Structure formats: C-alpha cells, structure tokens
Structure 1
Amino acid sequence: MFSLGGIANSFTSSSLYYCDGNPYLMPVFHLVSLSTEFTYSVLSKINIGTSPRTRFDHYVLGYKKANKASTEEKFAIVTGANSGIGFETTKALALAGFHVIMACRNKESTEEAISKLELETGLKTFEFMQLDLSSFKSIDAFVDQYKKTHDKLHLLVNNAGVMMCPYSKTEDGIEMQFGTNHLGHFKLTNGLLDLIKDSERARIVVLSSMANYIGTFDKSLILEESKYNKMVNYGISKLCNIMFANELSRRLEGTGVTVNSLHPGAVNTNLARHLTGNDLKATEFLKSIVFISPTAGALTSIKVSLDPELEGVTGKYFSHEEEATPLGEALDEQKCKDLWEFSEELIKKHST
C-alpha cells in the first residue's frame, strides 16, 4: 500500500530532529510542518495513493478476518461520536463488529447520528450515553452508569475536544481546553481502567494533534488566565494528550492493554466552531482547499483501533496512518509523570 503518510512523517521528523528545543529554529519547524501537512492533505484530496474509502474498508475487513474465530461481544466507547472523525470512527468500529457506546453531550444530535449510522450500516449496535467532559460530575455519572450496564470495555477512543475557544472555565473551574481535552479524558480513562484491564487485548486510543508542536507543559500557562493564548493553550492540551498516553502505557506495561496517541490530520469538521473574525475566514478558506474529509481524517484512529499489525504496540504516536514523532517533551518520562501527578492534584482540588 502506497504510504504517502510515511513520506510526510519522515520529512516532519527529520525537521523536528534539528529544531526541537531551539527557540530560534522552532518557528522554522512550524512552517515546515504546516507546509508538509497541507501538501499531504492536497495530495490526499486528489487521491494520490489509495482512496480513503479503500483504506477504511481495508482496516475493517482486516480486523474482521483476524478475529473471525472470536465469539465474544466487543464493546467500544467513542467520545464525541456524533459528528466528524468520531462519527466515521464509530461507523468503522460497528462494521468491524463492535457494540459502540457514543459518549456525547447532546442527546438529540446523537440520536440523529445513530439513525444515520443505522441507515448507512444496516446495524443496530449503537448506544447513546450522555457525557460532558467539562464536568467531573458528568464523568463520574457516566462511569457509574457504564459499569452498571457493561462488564467489559475492549476499546476506548478519546476523540472529543474543543479548539481555540475564548478563555472560559469548566464546570469545575479549570481552563476549558486543558480541562476538556486532557483532564476530562484523564478522569474518564482512569475511571474505566479496571474494566479495560479485565478485557482481552484492550486498546486505548487518544486523539491529539500536530498542534502538540506548539505546546509546552507549563503549569502557569494552564492556571493563570492572564497568560492565556487560545492557540498556545490548545497546543498544550494536545501535547498533554500524548504525554498522558505515554505515561499510561508505561503504567499498564504487562497488562496486555495498549495505549497510543495520534494526529488525525487537517480535517473538515466543526472543531473550529469557536473561531471568529480573521481566524474564521482563514479556516473557512483552508477548509475549501486543504482540509480532508472526516472519513479520511478518521483513518488513523481506525487503524490504531483495529489494525491487527498493531497488536501489542503501545506508547507510540501516529500521524497519516503511520508512526510519527511528537514534540520531545512528550517523550520525557519525568515530565509525563509530573503531568500525571498534576492532573491528579487538580481533580482532587476541584472535585466537590
């Protein structure tokens, strides 16, 4: 299979090798990585290499073939499953044989998504459970309800997120992007961990972004409103996604559970709904020319969730359906441990 993604990742990784940690060279790297991303997206849109639909089917059929002898019902949770990447990922998982719990805030839009999924797949293996990742109370209620109704969890896809929103706080008083994108998923995952460990060959998939390259784990940038920058803080939350996945993979060593993170691509979704003014105009322009479809954007999530060749692979970062290199901070074990402890402290401090 032609690997356009592998070429793009190699170019980005080589550039990062020379620039990472150098404040003078990192702006150059940011330009290089964006140019590479946009070039990859344009070539993907004109179908250089195999089509997204062909690769979608390849991952689904590959999983079904590898698991055809299994009679156990498989359960998956996808956060933010009612639109965009989450919707397409949910569709693939159902076609692969999973019963999919769609963990979303809005009941009405999720029920509409379920009707569409049932029509497109001919399956009735979709279940709505309400979840607001910006609320510890909602996360606790979700975990309690899931454990009452299910005794296994073979796949958790931490897909939901917010992007570049104006400064605001979660219900529990934490900066919204960090609180939703990282801390909400951190709490959710840990709440479900006992079921995940009891499920055979379970996987945890954490969606990040190439925005991790503009992030840094600096507590003051997370805690102090005066230092808030919507783009930088988005990058921080996405860097923390990778750091969390890497630390969790180390903590789960020997359990059979794998944890990996990924960048889905520059995807035409509603994630940028909070943008206004020139930011919105630029995004709308890029959507029409560069951004890939949700189906194409979901392919890395689908691969990391289903590909039999990734059995046992853990603590890795993927982009364009291939293994890639994140920012160096994400690979710093001590910083990853510090983030874990900081996350636990915040949850304890802000829980009511």
Structure 2
Amino acid sequence: MSKFKLSSMPSQKGKIAVVTGANVGLGYETALGLAKQGAQVILACRDFDKAEKARQKIVKIVPQANLEIILIDLKNLDTVHGFAEEFLVKYEQLDFLILNAGIMVPPYSKTKDGFESQMQVNYFSHFLLTNLLFPVIKKTKNARIISLSSIAHKNGTINFDDINSEKSYSKWAAYGQSKLACLMFAYELQRRIDQKNLGIMSLAAHPGLSSTNLSQHLPKLGQLVFGPVSSLIGQDAKDGAKPTLMAALDPSLKGGEYIGPTGFMEAKGEPGKVTSSDRSQSISDAQRLWKLSEELTGAEFTV
C-alpha cells in the first residue's frame, strides 16, 4: 500500500460527513481534513461555543469550507435521537459517519441513561446514532462508517455480566472494553452489510498514542508524564487523525479493515492496515454484544 497523503485523495465535493467530537483533538483534525477535500462537514458536538470556535478555525484555514453545527451529547440518548431527527429532516445523504468522540479513564460515573460513562460515550451512543442514521446511509452510494478504536482494545474484554461496571470499576478495564466494543461493532456491521450486499463500508481506525485532550482524566502526575512520553514515542493529533481520514477516503480499502499507525507497537507512524485481537474477531461475542446493545439503547438495529 502506498503512503497515505490527504492531498492525493479524490475530491469529496458534494459529499456529506458527520464527525462526532469535532471541536477538538482527533475530531477537529478529521473535520479539517474532510473540509480540505471539499466535503460538507457536520460538527456533532456537545458544546455550541466550542464547536463554533472550531468552525471558525477551520474556515480560516479552508475559507470555502461548508460546515454546520448540530448539537449532540453522547451522555444523553435523548440528544442522540434529537441529532438524528434534525439531520434526517435536513439531509438525504450521508457519505461519512465518523464515530470519533470519546472519553478515557474518568472517575466512575453513570449517565442519566444508567450506563457507565465510557461505555455510553465511546460505544452505546455511537451504536444508537448509527442505527438511527442508517436509513439515509443505505440510500447513499459508497457510504462509509468509521468506528474509532484504540490500542487499548487489545487488553479489553466484554464483561457481559457487568457491562456497566456496577459490581466493580476499573477505569482502564472499562476503557479497554469500550474500545473493544467499538471494533467488534465495526466488524459485525460489515458482516451484516455483506449479507445484504448494500455496498456500504464499515471500517475501524485507531490513532496510536496521540497527544489529545483524552488525557484530561489522568492524575496530575500522569498528565505531566503523558505529554513528553506521547511526544517521544507517539504523535500529535494531526498525525493521529490520519488513520481515520485514510479509512474514510482511501479508495483502495475494503469494508471490515482496521487502520492505524504502522510504526513500533502501532504508537505512531504512517497509517495502514493493522491487525486486532482475537477477541475482537469473535463472531459469537459480536452478535451477543449487538443484541445487548439493541436492548440497552431501546431500538432494534436491522441492517
């Protein structure tokens, strides 16, 4: 596979993208990259003021950028429904759904919907969002859905008996579980797409060890260490977003592929196809997770 270069990708003029968490870090860089290639980008964010600042930054770099803000709070399933309703009223196509937003290792908390916060923000709300937007995705030729995973998925397991960490909570275990769930969802969605011959692609990506706002919940000492370490062995948000942009734009890719940095331990490097854990490829676990996700989000997801 040749080296990925954003400027060498085909123009995306006339296409529409949704990027969750587009106001900062990887999401911002992803939205900027898509705007540079001519796509109309919906900044799906929780805070309007922060999203507006991001929009203005992008417009300064890409004066012709076509951007819109639609609010969504992934800790609240009602707003996921609200986002989908507003989008479906306004648009009849969705070429790129980038499931980017996430939180990492916060103190234990439950959302208003009763989920452990990392599982809801990183996975359950994105599962529901994809479900609600799928009718318009199905109508869009060559649409792509990109799920954001992490190196941490390799240490993750799906604790079906305590999916929301109510019996015990390890913030790192919960984070790994949520990112494993994102990857399993991407694979299972592609399997179901293939069964229906829909011509849609579900891919996954991870940013390696990227210096982003995800480190905000680390202890102060951890934050002091994380910055220099990530700069030394990892990469910045601009490079961290390259696997996502490659997954969305590279015409040589196929559905069900996983894109990440190809350097040492996938911490940094040029984006390319990478492998995932055996657990992530368990079809039986993926089907079980899908059914549980339907039950917990309150909506059947028929591809």
Q: Deviations over 1:129-159 (max 9, x none)?
A: 0011111100000000001111110110000
Higher relative contact order (CA 8 A, sep 6+): 1
In the alignment, is the contact (CA less than 8 A) between 2:30 and 2:244 conserved in 1? yes
1:83 equivalent in alignment to 2:24: yes
Aligned counterparts, 1:176-191, within 5 A:
176-191=117-132
The aligned amino acid for 2:277 is L
What is the distance in 1 between the residues matched to 2:185 and 2:34? 24
Point out the more displaced range, 290-299 or 255-264.
290-299
The residue type equivalent to 2:234 in the other structure is F
Closer, same or farther: CA 60–194 of 1 in aligned 2, 3 Å: farther
Does the alignment pair 1:165 with 2:106?
yes
Q: Where do 5+ consecutive residues of structure 1 fail to align?
A: 4-54
Q: Which of the numbers 125, 150, 153 marks the counterpart of 1:212?
A: 153
Give, in angstroms, the shift of residue 288 of structure 1. 4.2
Q: Does 1:335 align with 2:285?
A: yes
Q: Which amino acid aligns with 2:23?
A: N
Match of 1:301 in 2: 244
Report the Cα offset of residue 277 of structure 1: 4.0
State which of 260, 278, 288 in structure 1 corresponds to 2:203: 260
Please give the residue correspondences for 1:74-223 in structure 2 after superposition, counting only pairs within 5 Å: 74-223=15-164
Which of 292, 296, 299 lines up with 1:346 in the alignment? 296
1: CA distance, partners of 2:288 / 2:295: 10
Contact 1:60–1:306 (CA under 8 A) maintained in structure 2: no
Task: State the AA in 2 paired with 1:118.
Answer: V
Q: TM-score, normalised by structure 2?
A: 0.91
Matching residue of 1:49: none
Please give the per-residue CA displacement for 1:162-205, whole angstroms capped at 9, x wherever unaligned. 00011001120100111110101000000000100100110000
Shift of 1:217: 1.1
Matches of 2:220 and 2:211, distance apart in 1: 18
Structure 2 gap ranges (5+) = 262-270
Partner of 1:275: 218
Quick one: distance in 1 between partners of 2:73 and 2:35? 23
What does residue 168 of structure 2 align with? 227
Shift of residue 306 of structure 1?
Answer: 0.5
Partner of 1:287: 230
Give me the whole-angstrom Cα distance separating, in 2, the residues matched to 1:307 and 1:300. Answer: 10
Q: CA 1:327–1:97 in structure 2 vs 1: closer, same or farther (change >3 Å)?
A: same
Name the residue aligned to 1:51. Answer: none
3-state SS of paired residue (1:101)? strand
The structure carrying a bigger helix percent of its residues is: 1
**CA offset digits 1:237-256 (Å, max 9, x no partner):** 00000000111111111100
Residue in structure 2 matched with residue 11 of structure 1 by the alignment: none
The alpha-carbon distance between structure 1 residues 328 and 85, as it changes in their structure 2 partners (threshold 3 A), is same
For the pair 1:325 / 2:272, whether they are aligned, the reply is no
Question: C-alpha deviations, 1:291-322, integer Å up to 9, x for none?
Answer: 31111111111111111112xx1112221121
Contact preservation (8 Å) 1:61, 1:96: no
Shift of 1:269: 0.7
Q: Which residue of 1 aligns with 2:185?
A: 244
Task: Quote the Cα distance in structure 1 between the aligned partners of 2:293 and 2:211.
Answer: 31
Q: Counterpart of 1:59?
A: 6
Instruction: Indicate conservation of the 8 Å contact 1:60/1:92, yes or no.
Output: no
Alignment root-mean-square deviation, CA:
1.7
Q: Report how many aligned residue pairs link the two structures.
A: 288
Structure 1 residues 270 and 224: alpha-carbon distance in aligned structure 2, compared to 1, 3 A threshold: closer
Is the CA contact 2:207–2:244 (under 8 Å) kept in the aligned structure 1?
Answer: yes
1:51-74: CA deviations, max 9, x gaps?
Answer: xxxx5xx2333222xx7xxxx721
The one-letter code of the counterpart of 1:187 is L
Residue 281 (structure 1) shift: 3.2
Which has the higher Rg, Structure 1 or Structure 2? 1
For 1:116 and 1:90, locate their aligned partners in 2 and report how far apart those are by CA, in whole Å: 11
Query: Which amino acid is 2:10 matched to?
Result: Y
What is the identity percentage for the equivalent residue pairs of Structure 1 and Structure 2?
35
> Which consecutive aligned stretches of 4+ in structure 1 deviate over 6 angstroms post-superposition?
none
Contact 2:246-2:259 at 8 Å conserved across structures: no
